[in-house]
Amino acid sequence: MTNYKKEQRKKEKLAKQMAEKLPQPAFDKSPQPPFSKGRLSSPSLIASAPIKTPPVRNNSVSTKTPEQERAEFALQHITDFAKNSDEKSQKEFNSYASSMPFMIHANGLGQTAAFYRRKGEKNTYYELYKLLGEWLAKDGRPFAGKSDLLNAITQSDQDAYLAAQIEALLFLDWVKKLASAFLAREENNVGEQQP
């Protein structure tokens, strides 16, 4: 077996494992009213058709979509940051959050994380580094259980790294949108008329 085929099988296995971790939709298997050529066979069946109520969900199992989980995590951290930071820091966070996805596309997750980390713990760059690291270290994410983003990047295999890079871009899309909505930002006065 060639190396290419081994890599393909490895990637397929990883994709299957990641798909198994996603919550599966529950389908209602109750009997349906009889249909006749795509329509109900009589008007009386409309009144007697059972009304389906959504099933009661077990709160211990997440029924949120991955997008909802990303948005909720980002929103919680951004609103906390907004409460505990000044206007200058908010503008910086907003600017850096907007540029981080491009940097990942251009340089890769590892290079971007190293750039954001090297700015120091008291810098706004570090807030984004920490936020992304916390997200990727959550259960069900590519670096689950790993406390530091750069350590996780350097100790992971190629498949986990690529999965983390994709997840980072998806998560940062929410961070960018929510930062723009909830944090102070530089005003763009181009094309606006002054009173």
DSSP 131-158: HHHHHHTSTTSTTTT-S-HHHHHHHS-H
pLDDT at 147: 87
Q: Which run of H or of E encompasses 36?
A: strand 35-36
- Residue 161 is encoded by which pair of tokens? 């790294």
d(C-alpha 17, C-alpha 11), whole Å: 10
Phi, psi of 39 (to 5 degrees): -125, 160
**Could you tell me the domains of the chain?**
66-182 (1.10.520.30)
Helix (H, G, I), strand (E, B) or coil at 105: helix
pTM of the full structure: 0.65
Residue 39, pLDDT above cutoff 80: no
Residue 129, pLDDT above cutoff 80: yes
pLDDT at 113: 95
pLDDT at 189: 46
Q: Which of 42-46, 176-180, 187-191 is predicted least confidently?
A: 42-46
- Residue 35 is encoded by which pair of tokens? 């249909």
- The amino acid at 55: P
pLDDT at 41: 47
d(C-alpha 46, C-alpha 40), whole Å: 7
Residue 149, pLDDT above cutoff 60: yes
pLDDT band at 51 (very low <50, low <70, confident <90, very high): low
Helix (H, G, I), strand (E, B) or coil at 129: helix
Residue 4, pLDDT above cutoff 70: no
d(C-alpha 101, C-alpha 130), whole Å: 15
User: In the chain, pLDDT over 70 holds for what percent of residues?
Assistant: 69
What average pLDDT does the segment 70-81 reach? 95
- Residue 100 is encoded by which pair of tokens? 């981080």
Residue 61, pLDDT above cutoff 90: no
pLDDT band at 83 (very low <50, low <70, confident <90, very high): very high
